[in-house]
């Protein structure tokens, strides 16, 4: 008997999509923590806590980007988007990075202002409690989101997980800063910590932006995944298969795309060549599930298999991709 589903699951399909569940959890946690930190920051007068609240507001928007982009990227290909919608995740990750950088700039401005006018009384106890709770909650959320990012290959979730780790560091750093304020009575520890966090946030934004840019620009798959593909290709160099060339790979969101020309015995029938192609696709799918594999069949004309290298692997290997 099938497990009952809630209206929430039926509408959004969360039970069947790990990436969507992770994005929803991140959004809910960030929203709750944002409200708590805004209240505590205003009550205590801590610029560090208030800065963290602003960062949480950015997290809420960033999580919305991730949630919407994952829904959009999971839509099947259509007439206007024959290659699907996978790059929506990369664009969302790039948008997150710009949003994060903007928040860091605001934090820097507020911290400098506080350093100039530093005679401010800060109630540290509520801030320490609130940020300790924030650290614990974020550790739980980031572990789940990170797991979902690895399992699904989602660019948007990977960016979200990286940003959530910065939230854990921020919370612990602010707890240290507020503790120093309470112990020493000097309030300047508060804006100094805010400045340090702002620099860290800017660095994180740059990393997220560069990571998303590689997929927007159709950078090839990672070396280990290309090695898997080439292994599958070399396994096919039997039974009339002479070699391969023009191997090209890219990734859009969670979707991998693989194109390759397979060189076969010209005496093979179309049906036999098709069976070889299907066997190759199945072998790649067994190791890289869900990859879109396009195989072009070329008859061996003597120098075809020997004279063409993989566009991706040939330069690295320094040899042609042919069977012995």
The verdict on 183 and 76 lying in the same domain is yes
Specify the length of the chain in residues: 324
Contacts of 156 (CB under 8 A, 6+ apart): 23, 65, 66, 69, 70, 73, 89, 92, 93, 96, 253
Give the residue from 163, 186, 216 where a domain finishes: 216
User: Is 90 contained in some domain?
Assistant: yes
Distance separating alpha carbons of residues 67 and 30, to the nearest angstrom: 13
- Together in a domain, 50 and 183: yes
pLDDT cut 70: percent of the chain above it: 76
Judgement on whether residues 29 and 178 belong to the same structural domain of the protein? yes
Kindly tell me if the per-residue pLDDT of 280 is higher than 80. Answer: yes
**Same-domain check for residues 181 and 264:** no
Average pLDDT over residues 270-299: 85
Distance CA 142, CA 132 (A): 15
Read off the DSSP letter of residue 257: E
CA distance 274 to 240: 12
Looking at the structure, tell me whether residues 92 and 158 fall in a common domain: yes
- Nearest 5 degrees, angle CA 78-CA 251-CA 226? 135
What's residue 237's pLDDT?
A: 56
The last residue of a domain, from among 216, 239, 259: 216
Q: Do the beta carbons of residue 156 and residue 65 sit within 8 Å?
A: yes
b/e burial code for range 48-75 (CB count within 10 A of at least 16 → b): bbbbbbbbbbbbbbbbbbbbebbbbbbe
pTM over 0.75: no
Examine residue 6 and state whether it is found in any structural domain, yes or no. no
Once rounded to an integer, what is the mean pLDDT over residues 36-58? 81
In this prediction, residue 236 carries a pLDDT of: 62
**324 or 262, which is more confident?**
262
- Give the count of domains, the chain: 2
**Does a structural domain hold residue 241?**
yes
The string of pLDDT tens digits covering residues 229-265 is: 888 887 765 556 778 888 888 877 667 888 888 888 8
pLDDT score of 43 more than 50: yes
Residue at 322 is within a domain: no
Let me know whether 169 and 200 are in one domain: yes
Decide if 323 is inside a domain.
no
DSSP H helix total and E strand total for the chain: 11, 3
Percentage of the residues of the chain whose pLDDT score is greater than 90: 0
Report the pLDDT value the prediction gives residue 302, as an integer from 0 to 100.
66
What pLDDT does residue 249 have? 84
Residues 16 and 129 in one domain: yes
Top-confidence range, 125-129, 267-271, 286-290: 125-129
Same-domain status, 184 and 250: no
158's tokens: 């990977």
Asked if the structure places residue 175 within a domain, the reply is yes
Average pLDDT, the chain: 75
Same domain, 132 and 279: no
Q: Is residue 29 a contact partner of residue 141, using CB atoms and an 8 Å limit?
A: yes
Instruction: Flag whether pLDDT at 11 surpasses 70.
Output: no
The predicted-structure confidence for 98-117, as pLDDT tens digits, reads as follows: 877 887 888 888 888 888 87
pLDDT at 318 over 50: no
Does 227 score more than 80 pLDDT? yes
**C-alpha to C-alpha distance for 266 and 88, rounded to whole angstroms:** 42
State residue 119's pLDDT score: 67
Of 187, 216, 245, which closes a domain? Answer: 216
The pLDDT value given to residue 153 = 74
The pair phi, psi for residue 265, each rounded to 5°, is -60, 125
Same domain, 184 and 271: no
pLDDT value for 200: 80
Q: Is 256 helix (H, G, I), strand (E, B) or coil?
A: strand
Exposed / middle / buried, residue 281 (Cβ in 10 Å: 0-12, 13-18, 19+) = middle
One domain, residues 205 and 248 = no
184 and 71 share one domain:
yes
Q: What is the CATH number of the domain that holds 31?
A: 1.20.1510.10
Please choose, from the candidates 17, 91, 18, 103, the residue with its C-alpha nearest in 3D space to the C-alpha of residue 60: 103
CA 44 to the chain's CA centroid: 35
Reply yes or no on whether the pLDDT at 310 is more than 60: no
Question: Does residue 244 contact residue 310 with C-beta atoms inside 8 Å?
Answer: yes
Residue range of the domain that includes 274 = 223-317
């Amino acid at each position: 008997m099938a497990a009952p589903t809630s209206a929430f699951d039926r509408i959004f399909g969360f039970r069947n999509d790990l990436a969507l569940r992770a994005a929803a959890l991140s959004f809910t946690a960030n929203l709750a923590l944002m409200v708590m930190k805004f209240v505590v920051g205003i009550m205590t007068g801590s610029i560090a806590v208030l800065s963290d609240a602003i960062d949480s507001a950015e997290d809420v928007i960033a999580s919305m980007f991730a949630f919407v982009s994952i829904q959009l990227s999971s839509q099947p290909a259509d007439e206007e988007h024959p290659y699907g919608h996978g790059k929506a995740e990369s664009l969302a990750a790039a948008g997150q990075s710009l949003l994060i950088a903007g928040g860091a700039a605001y934090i820097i401005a507020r911290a400098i202002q506080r350093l100039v006018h530093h005679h401010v009384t800060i109630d540290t106890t509520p801030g320490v409690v609130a940020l300790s709770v924030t650290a614990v909650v974020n550790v739980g959320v980031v572990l789940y989101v990170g797991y979902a990012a690895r399992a699904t290959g989602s660019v948007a979730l990977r960016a979200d997980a990286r940003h959530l780790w910065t939230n854990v560091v921020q919370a612990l750093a602010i707890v240290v800063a507020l503790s120093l304020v309470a112990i020493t009575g000097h309030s300047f520890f508060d804006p100094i910590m805010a400045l340090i966090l702002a620099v860290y946030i800017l660095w994180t934004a740059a990393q997220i932006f560069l990571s998303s840019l590689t997929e927007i620009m159709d950078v090839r798959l990672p070396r280990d995944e290309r090695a898997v593909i080439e292994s599958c290709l070399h396994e096919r160099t039997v039974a009339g298969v002479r070699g391969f060339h023009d191997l090209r790979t890219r990734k859009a969101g969670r979707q991998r795309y693989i194109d390759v020309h397979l060189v076969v015995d010209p005496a093979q029938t179309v049906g036999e060549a098709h069976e070889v192609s299907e066997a190759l696709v199945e072998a790649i799918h067994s190791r890289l599930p869900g990859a879109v594999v396009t195989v072009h069949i070329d008859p061996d004309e003597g120098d075809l298999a020997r004279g063409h290298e993989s566009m991706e692997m040939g330069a690295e290997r320094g040899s042609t991709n042919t069977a012995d």
